Amino acid sequence: MSRRVVLAYSGGLDTSVAIRWMIEQWSVEVVALAVDVGQAEDWDQLRRRALAAGAKEVEVVDAKEVFANQFCARALLANALYEGRYPLVSALSRPVIVEALVAAARRHGADAVAHGCTGKGNDQVRFEVSARALAPDLEVLAPSRVWKMSRADAIAYAAKWNIPVTALPDKPYSIDENLWGRAIEAGILEDPWVAPPEEVFTLTQRRDLPAAELVVGFEAGLPVSIDARSVSLAEAVAEMNAFAGRFGWGRIDMVENRRVGIKSREVYEAPGALALIAAHQDLEGLCLEREQAHYKRLLEARWAEAVYDGMWHSPLREALDAFMIEANRNVTGEVRLRVEPGAGCFVVGRRSPKGLYDPGLATYGPSGDTFDQSLAEGFVRIFGQQIASWAARQGGPKLGSELSLRS
């Protein structure tokens, strides 16, 4: 068994219990590594908790910059939404945490890394696939996959060892949070019919405020300004969290398909990420050529699935990113976003010096028309030729009145 282990430490129940449990069961020395990816966290309390659990050392690594500018930025270029809805909050942070974990293992001369993920989720896949890609010589330990403790058992174990944790038996949510948003699972949320209680939300709160607008400026697909003030991506997300979140907008409640074949009920809130994706997607509507835009939608779904599945550190993700970056070269311009009580956050305008919208081609007005409609006749005839041949030779289509939805 390994002597020194660097554990990806979140400060939560499972990883706190994991420190003590690994020491007791495996007689290892544990270095707790916390990675700051923009979560709201009391770092002093986290340090005290890790030490109380028995960690030899606690380290906090600030990965906010690389997480925002290399991970979240790529997710935005790809408009990444797993199963069309989930902006990959947790999935995006795992590979950056593993990069920090491996670096720390080297610094501390460790022979293993560890994570607190259970055997039921996606996060174990993400940790281990990335760890093997980055450091094939390091062993990967997963204590919560073998200890056979329920959440209640883990709470009792923490109490027995005087590890101060915040998960109370009556509010046993598992929460993962970073710059890109929050993921809330477990407790009563495990019943997909039960509506999420207000108490699980922190970024989104329905309040009765007057409608408001702002303008997000993009350069090559990434936000660079809000109302003409320069912002970093991290600042843009934080401002959009506040802008859209205070109208209660940005919640997702879904049953999702995990990589390991389990359906799970997930609640998320990511107003900033969702608002930026909506704005970015809209600007692409203006700036991307039709075929490229349509093909990008297919690759976006593949990008989201690959990253969800733990394939951040893969040649597929790298190659897809090359496409996303190239496709975003001319996605430069401004998007007007509006928030309204009850209606949430939505795009109400866009403009771009690189836009492909041509008023002369589009207009139905009385003047300025540059489109020769007589050319359309031949185009439409040739476009529909295959259908005309099919209809003439093979009996043609059924009428609506002849269709049935039952097999």
Q: Which residues bind ligand ARG (CB under 6 A)?
A: 90-91, 122, 174-176, 183, 185, 266
Pick the closest to residue 164 from 50, 317, 286 (CA basis).
50
Is 174 in the active site? Answer: yes
Q: Which is nearer to ligand ARG, 87 or 333 (CB)?
A: 87
Q: Which is nearer to ligand ARG, 76 or 331 (CB)?
A: 76
Q: Which is nearer to ligand ARG, 154 or 183 (CB)?
A: 183
Q: How far is the CB of 265 from ligand ARG (least distance, A)?
A: 9
Active-site entry in 47, 74, 94, 251: 94
Q: Which is nearer to ligand ARG, 51 or 175 (CB)?
A: 175
Q: How far is the CB of 141 from ligand ARG (least distance, A)?
A: 18
Rg (CA), the chain: 25
Q: How far is the CB of 316 from ligand ARG (least distance, A)?
A: 18
Active-site entry in 47, 49, 123, 259: 123
Is 123 in the active site? Answer: yes
Q: How far is the CB of 51 from ligand ARG (least distance, A)?
A: 23
φ/ψ of residue 177, rounded to 5 = -140, 145
Q: How far is the CB of 126 from ligand ARG (least distance, A)?
A: 8
Q: How far is the CB of 49 from ligand ARG (least distance, A)?
A: 17
Q: Which is nearer to ligand ARG, 129 or 335 (CB)?
A: 129
Q: Which is nearer to ligand ARG, 174 or 330 (CB)?
A: 174
* Exposure letters 126-156 (e unless 16+ CB within 10 A, then b): bbbbbbebbbeebebbbbbeebebebeebbe
φ/ψ of residue 378, rounded to 5 = -65, -40
* Catalytic positions: 14, 94, 123, 174
